Structure 1
Amino acid sequence: MSESAVSSKEKSYEDIAPVQVRDTEVGKMHDIVNSDDELLREIGYKQEFKREFTRLSTLSYAISIMGVLGSVPATYAVPLSAGGPATAVWTWFAGTFFSMSIALSIAELVSAYPTAGGMYFVTKYVVPERHVPLASWIVGWSNFLGQTAGVTSVGYSVGQMLLAACAMGSDYDETTGTFAYTPTAEHTVGVSVAILIIMGFICSFPTKWLHEFILWFAPVNVIASVAICIALLTLTPNLNPASEVFGTVTDGSNWNSKGFSFMIGFLSVAWTMTDYDATTHISEETKQAAIRGPVAITQAVIISGVVGWLLNVTFGFCAGDVTAILGSGLGNPVAQIFYNANGKKAALAMWFWAILIQFFTGCAAMLADTRMCYAFSRDHALPFSSTLKKMNPRTQTPLHSVWLVTLLCCLLCLIALGSVETINSIFGITAPALDCSYMAVVAMKLYYGKQLDIRKGPFTLGKWSRWVNYVALAWVSYVTVVLLFPTSRPVIAVNMNYAVVVGAAIAVFALVWWYAGARKVYVGPRVDHVEEEIK
């Protein structure tokens, strides 16, 4: 390894970053002239992607990974059934605040180490060298499998939403309150697999095409969300009173506690506000990634938080009889809210945008997952790593990684043919697996920070860093318990939350593979291979 590579850990970011940093003491700006490619090389990797993502497309990507117009309708049933409209409104409000603490904690770390590995790569620099292999292995697998489950869940929800549209367009029997078409498990899985394959094709595009495509994700998301809020509040004939929307919490979970029912409502915001480091996974395709990525992460939480809250408030006013819409034949309470507003045609028009945004979210999530797969294989952490890390000479993207992720997601989807409970449990592990993998890195940074010289990037929290980290750790510890808890009583096979079982299986899988042989070949992120390739 060269001297420069050895000393990269000790260098301050300002020695190599390609951005402007404000000198707060003199109030002047100074330029940092070295390029993104040089920073990446200093970290230990050669530049293989084309840097096409700009400030706007990076922000659009960060917003689309949350995709509130798709994600809120897809998860609204949980807070609504647990504690009513007020639960959905206030858990989203509080959850956004605490989610910002996670986003800030992540943004600060990845600003110093902007690579396709995201927080997985940062692990190398927040623990003593002797702990790097095992720590990186666990964080990497938690991140990769959590993202894969998340992509599958989004693809599956798009399938559900498309079939809800089919049901909405079928004949409605007012006597029985049912629609002529009712989606089956086979239909849902078939459509979901087709959606995932389409997402795979999109993620195979060259980076320039992806930049141009993703640039539109955020504007469509925000404009469509605001338009739908206005349309629903205007068209819905009988709005719920504000006292119910903002002040009435019910015990829909049957845990004999309105407080606990309220806590269960956090599932919606926790499932939506996750995958924060997804933006970092495209950092090797982003110009000025060390500042644009972290800024986009935090801006996306603010924008998504505001838009998501407006949607929850609007749905609360327009929900009508909560019991009735939860039992809707459309399979989704928000779809029923759209239908109740002004009938079939208006409902389909609004529902189309929700489906489109959820599809955008799936594309963004899959893109991050494929880049994580590439980064993981680049460090020889996956079988057939030498193949998976190869870049296609025409698209300059890792197509083998793209289609491995697509295949894994399609295989996961097939589980729903045998057990809906199992597939929901796999989806339920997405947020806990990702958030815990992030907070493990943050916790290691806090614990070992005084021993290690962890460099700072241009995005830093300064004296507030530790306090923000502590808030994020407390929030994730709390919400993880809630996410792994059964959402209603009595607890039976149908409503049991098997996510904890899935999470334990992931942990056992990673540790068994590690001790069975991975520890002999995996050394953590391989930051010395640039010099090897030059030789």
Structure 2
Amino acid sequence: MTAAQVTSILPDGDVSMCNPQMDADERVIVSLGYKQEFKREFSLWTTFCVSFSVLGLLPSFASTLWYGMGYAGTAGMVWGWIIAMLFIQCIAMSMAELCSSMPTSGGLYYAAAVLAPPGYGPFAAWFTGWSNWIGQVMGAPSVNYSTAAMILAAASINSSTYVPTHYQTFLLTTLLMLMHAIISSMPTKWIAVFSSYGSIFNVIALIIVLITIPAATTNSPKLSPSAQVWGTIYHGTSYPDGVAVLMSFVSVIWTMSGYDSPFHLSEECSNANLAAPRAIVLTSAIGGVLGWFLQLIIAYTVTDIRAVLDSDLGQPFASYLLQVLPPQTATAILSLTIIAGFSMGQGCMVSASRVTYAYARDDVLPLSRLWKLVNPHTHTPVNAVWLNCFIGVLSCLLILAGDLAIGALFSIGAIAAFVAFATPIAIRVFVVRDEVFRAGPWHLGRRWSRFVGGCGVGFVMLMIPVLCLPSRTMGKGGLSAQTMNWTCVVYAGPMLAITIWYIVDARKWFTGPKVNVEHHMLGREGNVVIGVERKDGEGEGGGGGEEG
């Protein structure tokens, strides 16, 4: 690691305003307006590990199998994943470019404030931040709910008389939340080590599953014909086939929504403006390829989609395993998925706590003075961790109201994350001139930056209404409370309230990200900080600058 790599986003005058005793990473964060408060004990590898743990391919796939398989069957799974991943990779690369330029734990929220048109920075930050916060805070509860459901499904497999209750699911989910909060309150180095082992286990478990299922399947023949897998649409919805395939993207989007974690960990990462964007791109790319392999295995081995979806176990992945594997092998695979799910929930808790800390640091949240404190012993935002845990446990009370209520709440995760991802990218692509945005050492170059970002934003605009479609068309009986998709209500409702809050009150005191050192680097007049003209040719280059 060299100082030139880390500080290449700074013009010559900026570096001299920093304390010469600062290391390269601290110079970068000071140039963005913040003092160094965390220990930089995350490397590229450990940052990637946290991100990949949040991604949690195996448990995420198990949790969303109903969407990927239930809407369009095997053809939707194999084709849908490829198509969606191409656009998701565009979003990831555009996000990495922003991260390299502005490696702060505020992430997308900070970038939106800096890049927005003059006077609109505070609202852009407010809207992006709250959308991202909603998606982040609901991450750990939704993952832990799915993990708890798999644990109880495993118990049902081994005891024909046992039927899990909502109360038991709630208690088990709460226990998982408390365990993750305790781990997330530890020193950064310990969290990094735990994340490393968790990520390694996730990869090993995924490889075991990819090998075991086709090798141990009881099907005869073991694999379905390719023409059937790639060419047959399962009509799990009354929409046209094309719309059904788009609806199956929900599985991909929910699974691939954790690659922003390195952005939020960038203040704890060494060589952040290279390591963090590389971790973003690696997470999305490796996760996309391995996830598609898993989709292929499931698509080629499933024999009865309807039986998988309608099983009494209440967990489609467990039903699928029992359909294609001997009971003991199915239980072993499910156990690996449960452990991977625990690691994924831990990654979600860590990432969400850093987002909460970043927003509290800027006084966005009520009682921010409490949530922005960094524990002097662990050097981690412990108060933010336990705030998220408390909110998560409260949200899990909806488990007691039944599957519809809990599903409606957790379905906001995908759309909330997508909106937060796309907002600063859209500003960068469609509003900001190249003279305002100074690229970091990892960049796409002028030629590809707008094209790649535009593709990603266009995909988000297409998918937002698709994510709000009910599973079936209205038909003769119309929609009921049991059949409508509540995503638009449970996401748009809070966001509307937050927007009204800004218009009525918050705009009087919220000015965007609050810097805590004197020097500023990026931005526009009327927003957070003052822009600096870029030298001619700076930021140009091809294929990710340092090749993330």
Shorter-chain TM-score above 0.5: yes
Closer/same/farther in 2, CA of residues 16 and 235 from structure 1, 3 Å limit: farther
Q: How does 1:203-242 map to 2 (within 5 A)?
A: 203-238=184-219, 239=222, 240-242=224-226
Conserved? CA contact 1:182–1:329, under 8 Å: no
Q: Which residue of 1 aligns with 2:102?
A: 113
Conserved? CA contact 1:111–1:291, under 8 Å: yes
2 CA distance for matches of 1:228 and 1:446?
A: 40
Conserved? CA contact 2:217–2:326, under 8 Å: no
Conserved? CA contact 2:96–2:281, under 8 Å: yes
2 CA distance for matches of 1:75 and 1:16?
A: 50
Q: Which residue of 1 aligns with 2:245?
A: 262
Conserved? CA contact 1:280–1:293, under 8 Å: yes
Q: How does 1:44-443 map to 2 (within 5 A)?
A: 44-171=33-160, 180-238=161-219, 239=222, 240-255=224-239, 257-443=240-426
Shift of 1:14: 6.4
Corresponding residue to 2:448 among 443, 464, 476: 464
2 CA distance for matches of 1:447 and 1:41?
A: 28
Shift of 1:507: 1.7
Q: How does 1:31-42 map to 2 (within 5 A)?
A: 35-42=24-31
SS of the residue corresponding to residue 71 of structure 2 reads helix
Shift of 1:379: 0.5
Shift of 1:15: 5.0
| 1:480 maps onto 2:464 in alignment | yes
**Gaps in structure 2 of 5+ consecutive residues:** 1-7, 16-21, 520-548
2 CA distance for matches of 1:450 and 1:54?
A: 33
1 CA distance for matches of 2:82 and 2:362?
A: 40
Shift of 1:419: 4.2
2 CA distance for matches of 1:285 and 1:15?
A: 25
Q: Which residue of 1 aligns with 2:527?
A: none
1 CA distance for matches of 2:295 and 2:119?
A: 47
1 CA distance for matches of 2:325 and 2:454?
A: 47
Closer/same/farther in 2, CA of residues 531 and 362 from structure 1, 3 Å limit: same
| Higher alpha-carbon deviation: 501-510 or 341-350 | 341-350
Shift of 1:368: 1.1
Conserved? CA contact 2:302–2:324, under 8 Å: no
Q: Which residue of 2 aligns with 1:176?
A: none
Say what the alpha-carbon RMSD is for the aligned residues: 2.1
Alignment-mate amino acid for residue 430 of structure 1: G
Shift of 1:479: 1.5
SS of the residue corresponding to residue 138 of structure 2 reads helix
SS of the residue corresponding to residue 55 of structure 2 reads coil
Q: Which residue of 2 aligns with 1:530?
A: 517
Deviations 1:83-105 (A, max 9, x none): 11221121112111111000011
SS of the residue corresponding to residue 76 of structure 1 reads helix
1 CA distance for matches of 2:226 and 2:285?
A: 24
| Higher alpha-carbon deviation: 498-507 or 446-455 | 446-455
**Gaps in structure 1 of 5+ consecutive residues:** 1-10, 19-32, 172-179
| Higher alpha-carbon deviation: 232-241 or 97-106 | 232-241
Q: Which residue of 1 aligns with 2:10?
A: 13
Shift of 1:217: 2.7
1 CA distance for matches of 2:11 and 2:482?
A: 55
2 CA distance for matches of 1:469 and 1:16?
A: 30
| Higher alpha-carbon deviation: 134-143 or 343-352 | 343-352
Alignment-mate amino acid for residue 216 of structure 1: Y
SS of the residue corresponding to residue 307 of structure 2 reads helix
2 CA distance for matches of 1:504 and 1:419?
A: 22
1 CA distance for matches of 2:115 and 2:303?
A: 51
SS of the residue corresponding to residue 517 of structure 2 reads helix
Q: Which residue of 1 aligns with 2:525?
A: none
Conserved? CA contact 2:408–2:490, under 8 Å: yes
| 1:445 maps onto 2:432 in alignment | no
Shift of 1:390: 0.8
Conserved? CA contact 2:308–2:320, under 8 Å: yes
Corresponding residue to 1:518 among 496, 506, 514: 506
Conserved? CA contact 2:44–2:278, under 8 Å: no
2 CA distance for matches of 1:219 and 1:367?
A: 17
TM-score, with structure 1 as normaliser = 0.89
Shift of 1:372: 0.7
2 CA distance for matches of 1:252 and 1:272?
A: 20
Alignment-mate amino acid for residue 421 of structure 1: L
Shift of 1:151: 2.4
Closer/same/farther in 2, CA of residues 516 and 352 from structure 1, 3 Å limit: same
Deviations 1:122-154 (A, max 9, x none): 122201342121111111111101211222211
Q: How many residues were matched structurally?
A: 499
2 CA distance for matches of 1:202 and 1:508?
A: 34
Shift of 1:402: 0.6
Alignment-mate amino acid for residue 153 of structure 1: S
| Higher alpha-carbon deviation: 118-127 or 340-349 | 340-349
